[in-house]
Amino acid sequence: MFFKTIVCAAMLLFPAFSQTDMARITGNVTDSTGAVVPGAAVVIQNVRTGVTRKITADSRGRYAALNLKPAEYTLTVSAEDLGEVRIPDITLSVGQEQIVNVVLRPAVIHETLTVSSKDMVVIDVSSARIGASVSDREVAQLPLNGREISQLYLLAPGAVNNGSGTYDNIRFSGRSNQQNIIRYDGVEGTSIIDASPGNLNGEVTSSFRLQSSLENVQEFRVDSSNFPAEYGTGTGGQISVITKSGSNDFHGSLFEYMRNDAFDARNFFDRANKSSLRMNQFGGSFGGRLIRNKLFFFTSYEGLRQRAGVNFRDTVPSDAARARAVPSIRPLLAAYPRGAEPTSNPDFDLATLNSSSIVTENAGDMRLDYKPNDKYFFYLRYFRDQGESFQPLGVTGNGLRITAVPQNLILNSQQILSPTLINEAKVGLNAYKTRANGVVTPIPGLDLAAISVNIAGQVAIPGIAGQTGSAGVATPGGLIRANSATNGRGQPYTA
């Protein structure tokens, strides 16, 4: 099993900013004449958890609250002999800097300033990066086929769907998908051998979709170009995902999405029976507090069960060809089914097969957040996806079976040493154990697991005028070259 372990510690001294997943609030405090107010008390409170951060404006009236988790906050500013200003509904997204300048008036004047950012388009002036933030509302409510987070990447400028829209088919600003980088709470979550999230180590495309379930995603940001230097690796899209945490209130959800062939029309290639389709995607989440304002939990589960019919129509040796075959290769011909329709070439017949591709996944997530006091904050988050798929490859009944167990872990510790000095340490684990192997139909007296039988020839398909070129000839055997990225390696393959 390949894995990555990431250990990092950062000392952030105001005004240097270098976090890719956390947010911040900065601004100036002045009085009604425009003069700066040094030493103003600034309190930032997380609306969901009640966790507060207390800082003090410097001698020039500037303040900066760093390393804030993307969430909704309330800002309260006060100073001696001056009134108090309370600003609610400050929404921070991934890696965003909100500039909130505050004007304090004499204490005899009572003023409350309400700024609602929920219905406003916030322009990030802290960086020249080009990208898009996807909020928790969009994650929860946008209709997505298959509930894949990668479908939301297409909201970013420069995003192009180069295929099915899954992890390994979305590119940014003309760059290869292998150059994309995805991070979960600041810990890299891309595949191990290259940077194609959702692939089997970036080498074999797969049907898996729950590597990061939408049920545990609060929001994320995609930067498609011009991103700051702190991202460090990858020259494609930079995807920063923030996972959900608990709050002082208890919240939960249950869901199920389904598709069924009972609602479908007959496929053009369905001959005797309509192709079967059974897809159920289900799960739920639950989070809340263990200790009010101090200890919170969040857990989720999502399952996928998919059975989809696949029609095959391949060329196989005819009875006449089997009768003329030399004795040494006749045992291999037993791996081919009998053809149902003749072709213009007497050596080949056409065979059909209605099979099913199978995908089974179980994804789970657990997160604990703990704030013992105003100076320390810890959280532990772990999620794991266990998937197995079978993809049929032809009329001989052979196919490719893939198992994958992606895991991602983070342990975070944050210490506020002073209003302008923060120490943060992260320990992360990214692992992606995969296994791919060919599956063959058993043939008495013949082991096809480690070989591949390939017959080349010319054939004409009846009913298609002018069709005299090479047609698909069935290829039995368990030695499968999954795709060109495997550099010619066949299956079985373990990473």
On the question of pLDDT at 164 being above 80, the answer is no
The alpha helices in 170-225, defined as continuous H runs, are none
- Per-residue confidence band for 246, with pLDDT thresholds at 50, 70 and 90: very high
List, as one string, the DSSP characters of 303-365.
EEEEEEEEEEEEEEE-HHHHHHS-TTTHHHHTTSPPPSEE-SSTTEEEEEEEEEEEEEEEEEE
- Contacts of residue 372, defined as CB under 8 A and 6 or more positions apart, other chains included, come to 294, 378
SS3 367: strand
Give the fold, CATH level 3, of 18-104: Immunoglobulin-like (2.60.40)
First to last CA, the chain: 5
Quickly list DSSP for 437-449: EEE---BTTB--T
**Inter-residue contact 380 to 368 (CB < 8 Å):** yes
Higher pLDDT, 337 or 16: 337
Residue 459 pLDDT: 45
| 365 beta partners | 300, 383
Q: Which pLDDT does position 494 carry in this prediction?
A: 63
Residues 6+ apart with CB under 8 A from 377: 51, 369, 370, 371, 413, 414
Does 223 have pLDDT greater than 90? Answer: no
pLDDT at 19 over 80: no
pLDDT tens for residues 407-466?
Answer: 889 999 999 888 778 898 999 988 878 788 888 888 888 888 877 787 764 444 444 444
The pLDDT of residue 280: 93
26-35, 120-129, 289-298 — which is least confidently predicted? Answer: 120-129
Residue 72: what residue type? Answer: E
Cα separation, 54 vs 462, whole angstroms = 79
Per residue in 278-327, pLDDT (tens digit) is 999 999 999 999 999 899 999 999 999 999 888 888 888 998 888 888 88
Q: At 430, which helix (H) or strand (E)?
A: strand 421-439
Nearest to 191 by CA among 182, 159, 176: 182
Cα distance between residue 281 and residue 434, in whole Å? 22
What residues does each domain of the chain span? 18-104
Q: Which two tokens stand for residue 409?
A: 């872990």
Cα–Cα nearest to 285, from 257, 256, 254: 254
The partner residues of 73 in beta bridges, in order of sequence, read: 46, 90
- Residue 137 DSSP one-character state: H
Task: Return d(Cα 85, Cα 91) in angstroms, integer.
Answer: 17
Q: Is 226 left (phi over 0), alpha (psi -120 to 50) or beta?
A: left
Q: Provide the CA 151 distance to its chain's centre, in angstroms.
A: 9
